[in-house]
Copies of this chain bind each other. A is one copy, B any other.
Amino acid sequence: MNYSRQRELILKTVKENKIHPTAQDIYELVKEKSPNISLGTVYRDLNFLAEAGIIRKIDIGDKQIHFDGDISEHCHFVCLDCGKIHDIERKDYCHDENKNLIAKGFIPLRKDVIIYGQCPVCNKKEREN
């Protein structure tokens, strides 16, 4: 009995919205279809799904946790101008093979890579001014 109507809806919403939504974002989106859903339920279910590895948490240091329905290997680019979070494919960033770390006895299990900078749109705007 793991998937209630609310939980299914929350999962669907995270998968469909590629904007890397926060819990609050999800809450507002889900409320359109399930008006009296509780914010607590949204938080609980998002954590449940992340724990199960079905969605992914992203911490970009803006005090709110973002969620990503795409759990394929990729990293994130945060634009310091507009704040948008862009997906970066594996081939677009060099991936550490961790050889040296492993040689020293570390067991790398998870790596969070977040690149901050200026996205193409904001860079274009700046060049035009």
Report A's interface with B, CB cutoff 8 A: 57, 59, 61, 77, 80, 86, 88, 91-98, 100-101, 104-120, 123-124
Contact = CB atoms under 8 A, between A and B. Distances in A.
Given A59-B59, A94-B95, A94-B96, A107 B117 contact: yes
Contact of A77 (B80, B101, B117, B124): B101
A109 B123 CA distance: 12
Kindly report how many copies of this chain are found in the complex they form together.
2
Nearest to A108: B117
B93 A120 contact: no
Contacts of A93: 96, 98, 100-101
Contacts of A109: 80, 116-118
